[in-house]
Amino acid sequence: MTYYIFKLVTTAGLIVAISEISKRSTFIGGLLASLPLISLLSILWLYIDTGSSTKVSDFSRSVFWLVLPSLPFFLLLPYMLRKEFNFYVSLGVSVAVMMALYLVMVAVLRKWLIEL
């Protein structure tokens, strides 16, 4: 249980730290958020918990393929905000487009017989 709490506090602390840094510098916050820190922590926790290089390899491959449909989110959201759309509308539309692209990506990967 102590290990679980440690994982939770470490991971949540990282997210809070990045959001606080972003208040002072959006560039530094963006740089830190763009690093695969959550993926790295997830890989570390997965390996410690399972000891399986195969699971880590499969997880890493899945992250690679599934990060691709998330990238348009980071273009659409700022575009809509600059066009003065409401924040929540912009966020909702950007998330909806991202989710649709996830569905497309999963379908494409299945068609190519790439397992996730």
**Number of helical H runs and strand E runs in the chain:** 6, 0
- Average pLDDT score over residue span 14-24: 93
The DSSP secondary-structure symbol of 69 reads G
Taking 70 as the threshold, does the pLDDT of residue 13 lie above it? yes
Q: Which two tokens stand for residue 91?
A: 């966020």
Write out the DSSP string of 40-82.
HHHHHHHHHHH--HHHHHHHHHHHHHHHGGGTTHHHHHHHHHH
Q: Give the count of beta carbons closer than 10 Å to the beta carbon of residue 6.
A: 11
pLDDT band (50, 70, 90) for residue 99:
very high
Taking 80 as the threshold, does the pLDDT of residue 115 lie above it? no
Give 41-92 pLDDT, tens digit per residue: 999 999 999 999 999 999 999 899 989 999 999 999 999 999 999 999 999 9
How many Å is the Cα radius of gyration of the chain?
17
- What's the pLDDT at 91? 98
- What's the pLDDT at 112? 87
Average pLDDT, the chain: 92
Residue with tokens 């606080």: 20
Q: Are 98 and 70 in contact (CB under 8 A)?
A: yes
Task: Report the candidate in 100, 89, 98, 46 with the shortest Cα–Cα distance to residue 67.
Answer: 98
